[in-house]
Every structure is written in structure tokens, then in C-alpha cells.
Structure 1
Amino acid sequence: MTRSRLFAKHGSFRFGLLPTAAAAMVIAGLMAGPSARAQSAPETAEKEKDKQTLDRVEVTSSKRRQTLSDVAGTVSAISGADIEKHGSADLEDLLKLTPGVQFNKGTADGSLISIRGVGTNSNGAAQGFTQSPTGIYIEDVPFTDPFAFVSTPDLSPFDLERVEVLRGPQGALYGSSSLGGAIRYIMAKPNKRVVEGSVLAGFSSTASGGTGWSTSAMANLPLADGKAGLRVVVNSREDPGFIDNLGTGRKDANTIRVSGGRVLFTYALTPDFDITAMYLRQRSKQADGPGISPFDYSTGAGYVKNYESLDVKTAFPMAYTSTFDLGTLQANLNLGDFRLTSLTGRQTKSRSAREDFTRDFFDPALLNDKWTSDTDYHSKSTSQELRVTPLTPGRVNWLVGAFWMDADIQRDQQVYEEPRGEVADLRFRRNGKATEGAVFADAEIKITDRLIADIGARRYKTKLSYDRITGTTAADTASTPYSSSESGTTPKASLRYVIDESMSVYALASRGYRFGGISNLGSSAQGLPYKSDSLWNYEAGWRWSPTKSASIDLSVFRIDWKDVQLSELYVDPATNRSFLVTGNVGKAKSQGVEAAAAWRPFSKLSLKGTVAYTDAATSGGISIGGSPIASGTRLPGTAKWQGSLDATTYFDGPFDSNGRVSALVAYTGKRNAQIDSNMVLPSYTTVDLRASLSWNSVELGVFVNNAGNSRGLSAGVDYFTTYTEFYPIRPRTVGVTLRYDY
């Protein structure tokens, strides 16, 4: 039996941090006795060591269960076993394993992800009020904000069943938030028959930084004579900081503390009716430490001349706190020859940011002039999806469904001068509401035993309304309302041909979109409408498994993107204040090649590799702030070349142990920092090493991440100034982990 397990890369042996309830469940599981316990990690490792065939991977990216080789499209499925092997602690670690996907680092939960080059910003702060181009889904509930970027949840990967990365637009089945692709988190579900559990702890030390720790635990209990099951997961970690804030005097200022957990309950009331409920919560806190900033707040001059230096200087702490909650209820009911599935989701997200705005309002004549910005983001949404599928698929395997989502979003920003009272404080508020309704259908048709077609479409309607309120903390001006609505259709079609049992080819065309809206123009009641931007993805692929121990996937694609939404700076002539607005400003295209290969030449060695070439650039007609951007300008945050090589070997270790050693080498090429900036971020290569020994129910691991201490960077360009913040990857980190399974 395979279970998702994670060897976290930061942590200490602080078991006392686990909630009392979870600890009680772990003890209850131990008291259940060995006869009821699940297979331990070392037993799984023993079977893995003697295996010489590749795993048969199943995915649900098409909202029905398929083997990965039967999907007409490009999907990367990162299993729980791979998550365990690499000790992934966050989304940045996970995405090293997927070609064509770029993780653009930011502050806690403020990062952006681009797939196949689809993106106009490389930092969450610059995303403004537009919807992110990559969809995040947790148990198929959309987690991407439709308006006013709140956060990109970076879910702890402990005890996940798998993560699926869908490359290319997914508008037909997943809707507005998947313009360039989607990332799906699938949780490990309760086991209704077997008691099982895991406890994991670790400790780490980062070069030029501090020490970190993590603790995680899972307990699973069968209930109601095997008809029901309960699974509880808790986790807490502290990622060590490595940036010193010389202005506030805080060392290792960018330390991040993450804690959370989830509860899943499943119950089969009858053979034809079952429900699964989940509640999830996670909180991330960064007390200080933005990215490296080229600005000296004491003189107003450029500060960091060489971004290899890992320090920053701000007048105030740069603090960020992000929290998200999600509750889901999925019910499956068999009605004759059909299955009805209902999925209800309720989520809340909040993010607070206290930032030093001195550089935005800096007056060289007043060196003691200091400005602070406090911004609070809140969102809550409810979604409902209904699907009907046949219980026994024939030559036509179809599904039809309906989706509805309602989201409320508030953004409240205050900018004030220190000491307060010297000038009037500024306040900017937006209270918005977004809705999306859709009906969709998809059908897989076996034209012959070798030729399979898939056609689908989604008919949608979106609405957005919000009030803009500006003024001071003492008095607000009258609110100005804005509203917009759109409707459209996003089709997809594919054709797959099975050449023989080992080889197949496919061709695919699919369309994606994201929310349109309206930007305010300062003191004017007039708004600047912008349309939903959309794109077409044309793709062809080839899959070959010459033996049971080897596989090759190759795909080529071209994306045509029109009405590109781009943020720009607007200066209100009445107040001379700057506002970030969005407009449809032209076209772009992305084309490239992606390849993934796996080979198990003998039972004790496993090799995997990926490579991606992505050429994403404007194709004319784009301007920002009145200055044209030349056709052929590369879209930001995406490298032309990416690649990874993953090797794992198994061996008989000392003292009757099972041993494993793995190495992951990942390369990221040069990237543009922002579409309206000629700044090019350097390429970098990371090497992650890991070794473990296991006995019965215990596994001990050691790791060195970024062994070469590479200084990779992401960057966010501030639209209100000429200054940039750089977000470096974590320097060399060495650590140890200890795991107990029962």
C-alpha cells in the first residue's frame, strides 16, 4: 500500500508543538495493536528497492479517472512517493520536477506561478487587481482570486496523495482561473479499514542564515465497522531566514513560520451513496524581511549595488501574515446507470502587509521623512459544482455539469507619514463582488479501438462590481461604483491515436480565459473597462514506453494570446497621485517544446529527467504608460530553458537497514524581471542531495539542498518607483529528518 509521505526539509524534534488532539489520536492508533496497522515506510522502501518497472500513474485532470498515458494533453503528476523522496516543503520545491513551470518567489504566500510563459508580472504585488493566470485548485475547489490578488496559497505537501500540474489552458473544465494552466492538490483520503499514522520531525541550518525546524503528524482511524474513516493531519515549521535588515537591526529577517492542518471524514452510507468532508487551515507569518532592495532609506540613494549581498535596509519592519481556510463537501450518488457528484466549497483568505513606503514618497530634502503602508486583503467565496457521468462507460465516456461561484473581496490600504499628523494620511479601499456561472460538457469518443476523440466546451458568464473609496483616515470621499459583465464559450478538442501498446500520439486545441473588469481613473468617476483576455493553445504530443522500465513524453505547443491584460501606472491630473490600472494592450505568443523521460535500468536505480524550451514574447501592439513595448519583448518570469535530472539508488544499508540516496539537479535559465523593464535575471542551477536509512517503522534522513549555494533570483518591480526588490532562493541548507510510521 502506498501513502503520501513527506520528509520536510526544515524542522526540529519539537513534538510538543503538535496539538493535543492529534497527539491523542496518534496514541490511540498505537494502542490499536500491530495487527491493524498499515504498512510502514521501510516496508514500502523494501518493495521499491526490488522493483524494476515504472509506476502506473492515475490522474483525474479530466474529472474522471484515467491513466496518465491515456490523457490527450500535458499533465505532470507528482506522487506522494516523489514528494517524500525529495523532502519537498513547499510549492517551490515541488515545481522543480515539472517542465515549463516557473515559480516566481515573493513574500509569504505572495508568489506567482507562470505556465508556458503565460504571465505579465513576476510578483504578486504587481498583479494588482487582475486575476492570476495560473489556477490553484484544492480538491477541485478554485483557490485563485477573481479580483484584487490576495495570495497564492502555498499548501504544506505533507500527506498528499499527489499534485497534478496541467499545462495549457483548462477553460473547458476548470473555468476562468486557468488561463495558462492549473495546479491541483489531491489529499490522501481516509482509510476506512486500517489504522495508520506518521510522525515526522526535522532540523536544518541555512548558510548565511539561521536554523529551522518542522513537525508533522498524521493519524487515520476507521469508524463504523469499516464504513467510515477519519484522517487528521497537523504540521508546523519555521523556514530559517537569511536576509538581514540593516535598517531595523533584525538578523535573518525573512524567517517564515507556517502552521496548519486538515481533517477529512468519509462515510459510505449505502453502496450507492457516500460523502467526504474536509476542513483545512494554514497560516504563514513573516515578521520582517522583504526581498533585497536597491534603496538606502537613510539617504534616498541606491543601496544594493550587487544583489549577491543578502541584506536590506528599511525604515520599518516589512511584515506579512497570510491565512486561508477551506471547507468542502463532496457527495456521490448512484442513480440507475448514472452517478451524480456534488462538490460544495467554502473558503476564506486574508493577508496583511505592513510595508515601508518611504521610497514611494521620499523627499530628498527631508531625510527623516518616513512613510508606512498597512494593507489588509480579505476574500470569501462559495462554490458549487454538479456533475453527471455514466457508471459504466461505453464507447462514449461523457460528463455534463454546472458550476457557480460567488466571491466577496475587500482591500483596505492606509499610507501614513511618521511621525503621524504632519500631513493628512491617505486611504484607499475597494469592496468588490465577483460571480461566475457556467455549464460544461465533455465527451471521450472511441471512434475505433485505436482512434479516440475528445470534445468539450464551457459556456460561462462573469460579473464584477466594486466600490472605490478614497480619502484620509479621518474622512472618506464618496464611493464610486463600477461594474462589468461578460459571457463566452471556451471549447477544446483532441484526437489521440494508439499506434501500439507502447506508443501513442495526440493533437489538442483548447481555449482559456480570465475575468475582465474595470479600473478606476483616480478622482474621476470614469472607469477604464478591460475585457477578458483569452488564448488558444495548439499542442501535439508523442508518448513511448519501449519497455516496462522506460518512458518518454514529448510535446510541442503554440499559444496565441489576445487582449492581454497589462497593469500600468496612471497619474490622476486632479490630484497628481499615481494609480495602478489595467488595460487590454495587445497580443502575445508562446511556443516551445517539453520533454520528460523516466528509466529504471535495474531495480536499484531510478532516473527521471525533464527539459523545456519556452519562447514567450509580445507580438505587437503593446504599450504601457504611453511608451510602446517592441514586438518580440519576452514575457516576464519565464526562462527560455529549464531542465531537471533526478537520480535515486537503493541499497542494503548497515545494521539491517534499507538505504536510499537521491540527487536532483535543476536548471533555470535567464528571465526578464518585468515586461516593461530591461532587467534580466541570471540563470542558476541547484543541486539537492538526500540520503536515508530505514528500519521497520523508523526512517532517518539527511539532506543538503542547494549544495552549490547558487544565488537564483526572482524580482518584483515597483510600478510607483524605479526600485526593484529581489527575492533570492534559499542558500545552501543542511538538515536531518526523523520519521516514525505505524
Structure 2
Amino acid sequence: MIKAIRTAPLACALLSTTSLVIPVVARAQAEPAAASEADSGGDIIVTAQRRSESLQKVPLSINVLGEQKLKEQNVASFDDYAKILPSVSFQSFGPSQSQIFFRGVSSGGDGLHIGPLPTSSMYIDDIPVTTIGGTVDFHVYDIARIEALAGPQGTLFGASSLSGVLRLITNKPDPTAFSASVDAEANKFSKGDFGGSLEGYVNIPLSETMALRVSGFYKKDGGYIDNIPGTRTFTLDDGPPVPDTPENANDPGNTATNKTVTNAALVKDDYNDVETYGGRAALGIDLDGNWSVTPSIIYQHQKANGGFLYDPKKGYLKVTDYLPSSNKDEWYQAALTITGKLSDWDVTYAGGYFGRKVDNRPDYSYYSVAYDTYTYTSSGSRYHGYATYFPDPNNPGEFLDPTQNAILKDKYTKFTQELRIASPSDKPFRLTAGAFMQIQTDKIFADYNVKGFGSVVSPIWLPQFADGSDTMFRTRIKRKDQDYAVFAQAEYDIVPDVTLIAGMRGFMSHNTISGFSGTATARNCLISTPSTDPAVPCHNVDKASDESGMIYKAGVKYQMTPDVMVYATVSRGYRPGGNNRRPGVNPFKSDTLDNYEVGWKTRFGPVTLNGAAFYEKWKKLQFGLVPLGQNGVTNTYNAGDARIYGIEGDIAARFGGLILSAAGTYVDAKLTTDFCQVDPVTKNIVCNPGDPPAAPKRTRLPIMPRFKGDATARYEVPVGSGKAFAQGTVSHQGGTRSFLTDADFAAVGPTKAFTTVDFSIGINWDHYRVSAFLDNAFSSHGVLSLNSVCATQICGQYSRAYPTTPQMFGIKLGYDY
């Protein structure tokens, strides 16, 4: 009964951004906070190919959001920057519960703890921080830039970069000058509560060759979803008599009566508030002019209360929850980067250790509601899932409230090591090569409880665990994924304006899962090893999978003029396979994505126009599905093949004080083979002639809208010694298919297109900054995704909507030292 995080969410996109609206970032140092990005006028320096080079020269579709751009768009969290990356889509249950996708490469079944690895990855500087179950919601402050790389990036970034890579580049310690800043914000949702934040950083030169940079923040987000009063009545398995069989020997049959429960104790307005705090420290040491060492540490703590999806049946931004909900996410990353030169070659070592603890308590009660209606088959035999009646040991003749409570905990670790070399960038032949290793683990703790169940006097139809807890279903699984790789990517100028590109990555993966998952019934331990842990009766999961292979990249770049470049590339990304915990269910294999892309980077006077057209073939796509009769347990399958084609681009220009920019992406993503049904006995995918497929050929892939785009107009004007501005941004995204299979989609339905508009005004003078903003100014009721808290096959009729945040007004103050 692992919760399947399978939303049909928001989609965004990933396009290259022009140097007219992004500041120059040289040697990873940010522009002065008071300077406008449009004032830089020069090239943007990026490290998307593991070497410093101009954005306009990189043969890759890449969007760069500089520090000033992030401030102008009021970006603080993942949802904020995903909104302005049109090739990026995501699925989410709320803060710290999101999965990133590029160009529609999503089956809707990603983000499972025991299932596929993510299709895209997030890096902080040179260290990956994407965990097995999802992406951290990194607070954006004191960040030099965000680089979003669309398409498979496997040769340089490896596994989990199947669809793309999102890189957050931090500001580095600067020994040349002292600097500091403090920022404060107060805000309020029009249909919700107050919030605000306090942020600051300081850069302290310790000597001519050493500096310390420290930043910290506290942020409180007000709630905007109301938990309204409600009651529900459980029928407690009223229905046909239970057959007199050995399996049902302890089943009292049709003797239960109805049980009515209320949520009166949890009724509250604006109950989904969030508190986030943390900080970062980095020490930069220049050893001899050629070698430098930078140790760093990042810590972040986030506590989200309530749920972030509302129930359309109850009304806009309203729910009726019967259990308290929360999500606590705490993580840190310790990293060490060493850079230097051997002769005229650059050498880089990047190593990191990442630890993350997640404690998720969703309102899982709709699982109980669903099973209260799914008790019997047409033959009159009991459905082999949970029944919902349990005698109350303290009140003879009465029954327990069967509302089921989910306690979901994960402890993640990620240990990474990379060593790479790069030849001089001013030579006709340029090579980047290296070796990489990654070991990541997830200790999965899941208990599904009914209060009082552990005190029920045996015999009852479902045995209790030996520890006397109220747990009905339990998971204690350790997952370990190991990746090892060597890689190389080269460029060769066959003539000064024409460059050939070639790359490869050889990889090996070894993935294991072990532990226990199931109820306390004896059949769950028929093939197992004994356990000394009183919490579990045995170890019934012990599986491993190994894979190895090679992927590639090739292409050509033509610099037609100093301001016009075109390119064509073909590349392959991969994602390792893994293991299913259910006995008899086959392991799933790796999937691959072949990308064929042509692109252009152009500048015509004050106008910059960049873009790319692409065609992608996704083979053996991995898909998480919960077959009926599995108590909500998810299996992962290689569902079939898909194709994706689209076009993405952006344009920007500056005319005096007026800055105009727009970006958009169109994606068409569909299956090219039938996704067949799950065999009810073996629980494996079987294609039987005459049986309708679960998702037929040409079914649209979920999550990504066909079109998403945004446009911004900003006007800046001198006012005395300062500069005032006014800005407006319009964002639009089309509707999405919520789930891949026809049954899931029919149960939940599609999302609809929506448009939001944001405004801001402000003034900067001397060291001061003051601004005001109005987000979602016209109160769009857009839905980013539709989802259910348990598997859609069980709870689809109780699905909920993840909304755009409602209208918000805020004031920001800043001071730069």
C-alpha cells in the first residue's frame, strides 16, 4: 500500500534565454544586486557542458535564469521557477513532493519509492541531489543562476537525466571584496492567510586568497485551503454472507452495522501553511593561483501542514479531511570541490554526501472509504483487499472507526564522486572526460493503521503484527542503487566555423531491494528468511538487478556569422531498471530516449531569438501501476514505446527602458505501441489477442500540456538617483491528460487550460530596494494536476486538484551593503 505519486500536473518548458535579459556570470560571481540583467549587454557564461562557455555558442537547448531575473519574477521555490520554464512539467502533492519532467517525458507513474528512478535530475553546482522518491524543494536565494538543460543529457550527467537536467548554481565566495544583503517580504493570499520571509547573506574576505560566504533564510507561507465540516458513514462490509471456507474461518460475516464519523475536531480555515528555514556556508581557498578548494554545507528544514490538493466536489480550495496531514522534509548536503590545472588542462573533483529524512502523514482515509464499497465480487466471495469492520474491544457489539492512517517515512542518502579533465577551450580539439560513481539508498518505513486494531481480541479475519501496534499493512524495505560510469565528450573544429561533436558514456548499475512488505498473514512469509525484528514477521523481499551499456551523442555546429549559430544533434539518454517487491512479478528493464534535434541561437541588433525543434523516441518506458487485488501495492512495468515531437523557442528585445520577452513550447507525445493489460494471476503485463489494451497505441502521454508559454513586459525609468520599474507577466498552459491508462483517466478526467497574470512595481536607489507585487491578479482557478491519495484504481472517484496558488499581494524590502 505504498502511496503512488502519480499526478497529472503542471507542465512548463525549457528554452534558451537571451543575454538581453540575463546577466553575465563570470567565474560564478553574480551581478550586483542593484544592476538590471538587461544592462549587462554581454554573453551569458554557462557550464552546461562542464566547461565555461557562452550560452549563444552552446549547441544545446538551455534556459538560463540569472540572479536578477529570479528576483524580478519573485522566485523562491520549485513551483515558482517551474512556472517560467515552458519545457518543464511536474507532478506534485505539495511542497517537497514534486517530480520534474522535460519535454513531456512522463508516464505519470514516476516518483515511486519502490519503482522507477526519476526521468530528470537536479544538481546543486556539480553535485546531484535528486533522490529516489523525488526532488528537494530547494529555497532559491543567493543563487547565481539556474540552468535548465532540455533533452537527454546522459553522456555528461548519466542516469536520471533521461529527459533533462536542472542545475542550480550558487554564488561562490569572493576574496576580492566584502558584500552582504538582507531581504524581507510580507504577503497575503486574497483567499487565505498572511506569510512572509527574511533572507540574508554575507561574503567575508578572510585574506587575499580565502573567503567565507554564508546565507540563511526563514520563510512562512500562509494557508489558503479550508477544511470544512463533514461526516461519513461506513457500511462496514454489509453485504452478502461470506462463504464458509477455511480462508474465512475467522470472518464473522454479515454482522456489522453502520459507523458514522465526523471531522469536527479538524475543521479549520487556511490549514495548509508551510514553514521553511535553512542556510548555506562555503569556504573558498585559493592555494597557489592554479588550484582552489571549496568545501560547503547546505541545510534545509521544511514543515508543511494540511493538504495542498482541494476537492472540486466540495468547492474551490475546500476539502473535508478526517485525519491531520503533514509533510516534514529535512536534508543537508556536504560537498567538496577541487579545481586546478595540470599543464594547460583543467582538473575538477566534485564529491558530496547528501542526507534526507521525509515524514509524510497524508489523509489516507479515502482508501478506507473505497474498500468499504469494494468488499464483494459478483460470486459473493470476499474481495481480497481490506475489509472495514473490526470489533471494538472496549464496547461490545460496537465496531472501530475503520479510517486508515498512513505513516510514511523515508531516509535517503546519496554519496557521489566525480573526477574529470578538460582540455584547453581555445584549441580546435576540445575534450571533457571523467569517471563517476553514485551510491544512493532509501530506507522505507510505512505503516497503515486503524486506531485500536492492535487491541482487538483474536481471532479476527486479519492477524495483528507481533509488536502489538495498530498496523494492518507494513513496509520495511531498504533500497540501494549503485551507478558507475566513464564518459567523454569532444568537439573538433574541422574548419573555423564548423564543429563536429561526439560523446559517449559507459555505465554499470547494481540495484537491490530487501526487507518486508505486506500484512501479518502467513502467506506473506512462505518464501522468506526469518526476522529478529518484532515489527515484521519475516524478510520476504530480496531482489537484485544488474545492467551495463553505453550511450552516445553526436552532432554538428555551424557558426554562420558571429551572431547566428545553428546545430543538429542526436543523443541517447537512459534510466536503469530495477526490482518489483511482489513475488512472481518480473523486474523492469532500463528505458532509453533517443533525441533528434535541430536548433538555432541568433541575435539581430537588440533582438535575440533562440529555439529548437526535436523528435524523441522513448523505448520500453517504465510505468508504475497498481493491479486490482494488490492492496494498493505498486508494480513497475515496461509499458511500451512512445514518440514525442515538438518545438520550443524564445524571443527577447530591449528598446531603451522597455524590455520584452516571450517563451513557449509545443509538445505532442503519444504511445506508439499498445500498453496491454496486467494478468490477474501473475501480475505481469500480458498481451492477449482480443483483449482491449490498458492504453492503446496513440494514447497521449500524461502530465505535459501540448502548449505552455509566458510573456513579460518590463519598463525601467530613472527616478532621481535610482531606477523605478513596472512589470507584467502572462503565463498560459493547455489542458493535460491526467493518467496514461484509459481506466485511470476515465476515473479522474483531464485538466483544463488556464492563464495567470502577475504584476509588480518598485524602485531601487543607492543601497535600497522596494517593490510590491500581485500574483495571479485575476484569480485564475487553474488546476495543475489531478490526483488521488491512494492508487487511482481504488481512490480515483475521490480525486483532488492541485491548484495554482490564489491571488497574492506582497511587499518586498531589500538592502545591499
- TM-based fold match above 0.5: yes
CA-CA distance at 1:97 after TM superposition = 2.4
CA-CA distance at 1:656 after TM superposition = 4.7
1:590 to 644, 650, 653: 644
**Within 5 Å, which residues of 2 pair with 1:238-253?**
238-246=220-228, 247=263, 248-253=266-271
Is 1:560 matched with 2:617?
A: yes
- The answer to whether the Cα contact below 8 Å between 2:323 and 2:365 also exists between their aligned partners in 1 is no
SS in 2 for 1:360: helix
| CA separation of 1:464 and 1:75: change in aligned 2, threshold 3 A | same
My pick for the range that moved more, 180-189 or 272-281, is: 272-281
Is 1:229 matched with 2:211?
A: yes
Structure 1 match to 2:115 = 129
Is 1:702 matched with 2:772?
A: yes
Structure 2 match to 1:8 = none
Structure 2 match to 1:310 = 317
Structure 1 match to 2:812 = 737
Distance of 2:420 and 2:110 partners within structure 1: 36
2:627 to 567, 570, 576: 570
SS in 1 for 2:640: coil
The letter of the residue matching 1:87 is: N
Distance of 2:121 and 2:677 partners within structure 1: 26
My pick for the range that moved more, 577-586 or 188-197, is: 577-586
Give the aligned CA root-mean-square deviation in angstroms.
Answer: 2.0
Structure 2 match to 1:370 = 403
SS in 1 for 2:161: coil
Is 1:62 matched with 2:62?
A: no
CA-CA distance at 1:624 after TM superposition = 5.0
- The answer to whether the Cα contact below 8 Å between 1:128 and 1:567 also exists between their aligned partners in 2 is no
| CA separation of 1:264 and 1:39: change in aligned 2, threshold 3 A | same
Distance of 1:721 and 1:91 partners within structure 2: 28
CA-CA distance at 1:727 after TM superposition = 1.0
CA-CA distance at 1:448 after TM superposition = 0.6
2:730 to 665, 673, 677: 665
CA-CA distance at 1:58 after TM superposition = 1.2
**Within 5 Å, which residues of 2 pair with 1:643-722?**
643-653=709-719, 656-676=721-741, 677-678=745-746, 679-713=749-783, 714-717=785-788, 718-719=790-791, 720-722=794-796
Distance of 2:484 and 2:545 partners within structure 1: 15
Structure 2: runs of 5+ lacking an equivalent: 1-29, 229-262, 374-387, 390-399, 457-461, 465-470, 521-533, 680-692
Distance of 2:90 and 2:486 partners within structure 1: 32
SS in 1 for 2:539: coil
SS in 2 for 1:237: strand
Structure 1 match to 2:579 = 518
Distance of 2:648 and 2:572 partners within structure 1: 19
Distance of 1:71 and 1:39 partners within structure 2: 22
Structure 2 match to 1:491 = 552
The letter of the residue matching 2:555 is: S
**Within 5 Å, which residues of 2 pair with 1:382-421?**
382-391=415-424, 393-421=426-454
CA-CA distance at 1:142 after TM superposition = 1.5
CA-CA distance at 1:584 after TM superposition = 0.6
- The answer to whether the Cα contact below 8 Å between 1:469 and 1:478 also exists between their aligned partners in 2 is yes
CA-CA distance at 1:454 after TM superposition = 1.2
CA-CA distance at 1:338 after TM superposition = 2.1
Is 1:540 matched with 2:522?
A: no
- TM-score of the aligned structures, taking structure 1 as reference length: 0.88
| CA separation of 1:446 and 1:730: change in aligned 2, threshold 3 A | same
**Within 5 Å, which residues of 2 pair with 1:123-162?**
124=111, 129-145=115-131, 147=132, 149=133, 151-162=134-145
Is 1:437 matched with 2:484?
A: yes
Is 1:78 matched with 2:78?
A: no
Structure 2 match to 1:89 = 76
Structure 2 match to 1:5 = none
Is 1:453 matched with 2:460?
A: no
- The answer to whether the Cα contact below 8 Å between 1:108 and 1:322 also exists between their aligned partners in 2 is no
The letter of the residue matching 1:467 is: S
SS in 1 for 2:676: strand
Structure 2 match to 1:200 = 183
- The answer to whether the Cα contact below 8 Å between 1:104 and 1:637 also exists between their aligned partners in 2 is yes
In percent, how many aligned pairs have the same letter? 26
More strand by share: 1
My pick for the range that moved more, 392-401 or 470-479, is: 470-479
Structure 2 match to 1:621 = 674
- The answer to whether the Cα contact below 8 Å between 2:338 and 2:349 also exists between their aligned partners in 1 is yes
| CA separation of 1:188 and 1:668: change in aligned 2, threshold 3 A | same
CA-CA distance at 1:721 after TM superposition = 2.4
The letter of the residue matching 2:631 is: R
CA-CA distance at 1:95 after TM superposition = 2.3
The letter of the residue matching 1:721 is: C
Is 1:178 matched with 2:161?
A: yes
Post-superposition Cα deviations, 1:375-394, rounded to whole Å, max 9, x if no partner, equal 10111121100011224641
Aligned residue pairs: how many?
675
**Within 5 Å, which residues of 2 pair with 1:494-513?**
494-513=555-574
| CA separation of 1:691 and 1:624: change in aligned 2, threshold 3 A | farther
1:725 to 790, 796, 800: 800
Post-superposition Cα deviations, 1:178-232, rounded to whole Å, max 9, x if no partner, equal 11001001000111110000000010010211010100000000112x2011100
Distance of 1:693 and 1:123 partners within structure 2: 44
Post-superposition Cα deviations, 1:272-321, rounded to whole Å, max 9, x if no partner, equal 2111111001111112224124xxxxxxxxxx426x52111121111111
Structure 1: runs of 5+ lacking an equivalent: 1-37, 294-303
2:310 to 285, 292, 296: 292
- The answer to whether the Cα contact below 8 Å between 1:121 and 1:127 also exists between their aligned partners in 2 is no
Distance of 2:211 and 2:33 partners within structure 1: 21
Structure 2 match to 1:24 = none
Distance of 1:667 and 1:469 partners within structure 2: 46
CA-CA distance at 1:105 after TM superposition = 3.3
- The answer to whether the Cα contact below 8 Å between 1:54 and 1:600 also exists between their aligned partners in 2 is no
Distance of 1:578 and 1:691 partners within structure 2: 50
- The answer to whether the Cα contact below 8 Å between 2:31 and 2:67 also exists between their aligned partners in 1 is no
2:365 to 358, 369, 373: 358
CA-CA distance at 1:534 after TM superposition = 0.6
The letter of the residue matching 2:645 is: Q
The letter of the residue matching 1:119 is: S
Structure 2 match to 1:3 = none
